[in-house]
Amino acid sequence: MGGGGGNDRLIHGSADAAQQQDFSKVDVKTTALGKNTYMLEGAGGNVTIAVGTNGVIMVDAQFAPMHDKLKAAIAQITKQPVAYLINTHYHGDHTGGNAAFAKEGAIIVAHQNVKNRLVNPPAGANGQTPPASPPEALPVSVFSDKTTIAVAGQSAQVIHIANAHTDGDSVVYFPEANVLAIGDQGGPDRYPNISAGGGIDGMIAGTEAFLKLGNAQTKIVPGHGPLATKADFQAYHDVLVKIRDRIVKLKAAGRTEDQAVAAKPLAPDIQAQQKQDDAASERVVRAVYQTSK
Ligand SMILES: [Zn+2]
């Protein structure tokens, strides 16, 4: 799920959302990012693909019912199969397509905690625990810190970001194309979305880490929302720091979590700047209060 937008509750988890949404009406929009890389938007998290001469590296796979449409969109670009599917984290709007792509030969790559969470999912924002993923949907190539994946002509640096959106996040950098896919680390007009095992401090540190990759021209594909730049994410980082500082200040002054919420520390300026409402601000104050040191 994404970063604090109004749809987060709807798209959180997988089975619920998949039942609520009519995927037949969704079109996949393909945006060329240069050097045979593309961003695919449909329903669920954004997908990034890097096309080599003997296979495709894919980042995230949206909801399960999107598989055929994503496959068709990729077939418009290349005859090569998806060789690797990297999951940026375990949420169903990014991993729903795992089983179907794996069945067609894709090797699923993810941080070890993605596998753990898919096997033993925590309760979602609606309080319901989604079903465990079937074995065929699980990552078969797991890592703990970083790994590199390659097809002919493309490589992907997969780098773990600790305890940020979740406890199994990765960002994926494609050096040949200077494209960076960051999963649900946030973005312009969003609030930090802190889920299973995530935290505000990890999100800030993680943003600092991935901003060191590439250069000023790097194209950033966020988990949700439009294509972004490093300048966008430097600004987002600075908002994260402001959000944390205001809430930590209340915590340090001895306010309880409810008192911190009542103080509305993000209103009106940060809330307006990120185009968010009171309910979203309350969720962020609680999440930051609970996860900040
Ligand atoms: Zn997510």
Residue at 129: amino acid letter: T
Looking at residue 149, its pLDDT comes to 98
The encoded tokens of residue 90 equal 């375990």
Domain assignment present for residue 283? The answer is no
In this model, does residue 11 exceed pLDDT 70? no
CA of 207 to the centre of ligand 1 (A): 15
CA distances to 178, 198, 249, 257, 288 from 253, in Å? 44, 24, 6, 12, 15
CA of 185 to the centre of ligand 1 (A): 8
- Which residues are placed with Cβ below 5 angstroms of ligand 1, an ion? 1, 91, 184
Domain assignment present for residue 99? The answer is yes
Give the tens place of pLDDT for each residue, 282-293: 999 999 999 998
Domain assignment present for residue 66? The answer is yes
The arithmetic mean of pLDDT across residues 36-41, rounded, is: 98
The arithmetic mean of pLDDT across residues 140-165, rounded, is: 98
CA angle 153, 98, 145 (to 5 degrees): 65
CA of 89 to the centre of ligand 1 (A): 7
CA of 30 to the centre of ligand 1 (A): 21
Domain assignment present for residue 47? The answer is yes
Helix, strand, coil percentages (3-state) for the chain, rounded to 5, are 35, 20, 45
CA of 91 to the centre of ligand 1 (A): 5
Give the tens place of pLDDT for each residue, 201-257: 999 999 999 999 999 999 999 999 999 999 999 999 999 999 999 999 999 999 999
pTM for the model stands at 0.93
Could you give the CA distance from residue 6 to residue 278 in angstroms, rounded to a whole number? 11
Domain assignment present for residue 287? The answer is no
Domain assignment present for residue 180? The answer is yes
Give the tens place of pLDDT for each residue, 260-284: 999 999 999 999 999 999 999 999 9
Whichever domain contains 148, its CATH number is 3.60.15.10
CA of 98 to the centre of ligand 1 (A): 15
CA of 60 to the centre of ligand 1 (A): 11
Give the structural domain span for 199. 7-232
Domain assignment present for residue 206? The answer is yes
Q: Please give the mean pLDDT across all residues of the chain.
A: 93
Domain assignment present for residue 43? The answer is yes
CA of 66 to the centre of ligand 1 (A): 17
Closest CA to 94 of 9, 19, 169: 169
Angle of helix 230-252 versus helix 200-210 axis, rounded to 10: 150
Looking at residue 17, its pLDDT comes to 54
- Contacts with 289 (C-beta within 8 Å, 6 or more apart), sequence order: 247, 250, 251, 257, 260
Beta-ladder partners of 49: 38, 58
Could you give the CA distance from residue 50 to residue 37 in angstroms, rounded to a whole number? 4
The total number of structural domains in the chain stands at: 1
CA of 161 to the centre of ligand 1 (A): 13
The encoded tokens of residue 135 equal 């074995």
Could you give the CA distance from residue 60 to residue 157 in angstroms, rounded to a whole number? 15
CB < 8 Å & 24+ apart, contacts of 237-241:
237/204, 237/207, 237/208, 237/211, 239/270, 239/273, 239/274, 240/186, 240/192, 240/200, 240/203, 240/204, 240/207, 241/204
The arithmetic mean of pLDDT across residues 91-103, rounded, is: 97
CA of 181 to the centre of ligand 1 (A): 13
CA of 165 to the centre of ligand 1 (A): 7
